[in-house]
Homo-oligomer: A and B are copies of this chain.
Amino acid sequence: MNTNINIVPLSEKIADTLQVISPSPRLAILIAIGRKEACVCHLESILGWRQAYISQHLMALRKAEILQDRRAGRYVYYRVKDEAILSLVRDAAALSGLDPQNVDLCANPDPGPACECPHCTPETILLTLPDIQK
């Protein structure tokens, strides 16, 4: 069967997507977001990286239309547009000799008290918290 599809342009298009997500900081961000949404301070707390560094990678992922952002006041929440990305990351984990379930287990963990966004600390709780790390 003769096709009009040429391998070279096909693989270039596939490469465009894979090369956006394959740097490890971006994989970490995608896994950290998981199937929920997360804000930048959330990601800072989970990953322990500088805000500007995270923002740079968010910018690349946003530009590639892999992430969708939603602003709520000062906070910006990011969500993975297509869960197939996460599925692909799990498959890549399996290929790397890892248990794909570990990717799910890592996904969007509780960042703990370091993250004070409304998402993690609803107002009613925030008002009662002592002044920590301020």
Contacts and interface: CB of A to CB of B under 8 A. Distances in A.
Contact of A11 (B11, B31, B91): B31
A27 B3 contact: no
A131 interface: no
Interface of A: 1, 3, 5-8, 10-19, 21-25, 27-28, 31-32, 46-48, 82, 84-85, 87-89, 91-98, 102-103, 105-106, 109
Q: How many copies of this kind of chain does the complex include?
A: 2
A106 B5 CA distance: 7
A7 B22 contact: no
Contact of A95 (B22, B46, B88, B94): B88
A28 B10 CA distance: 8
A88 B89 CA distance: 9
Contacts of A85: 95
A93 B16 CA distance: 10
Contacts of A106: 3, 5-7, 10
A49 to B, nearest CB: 9
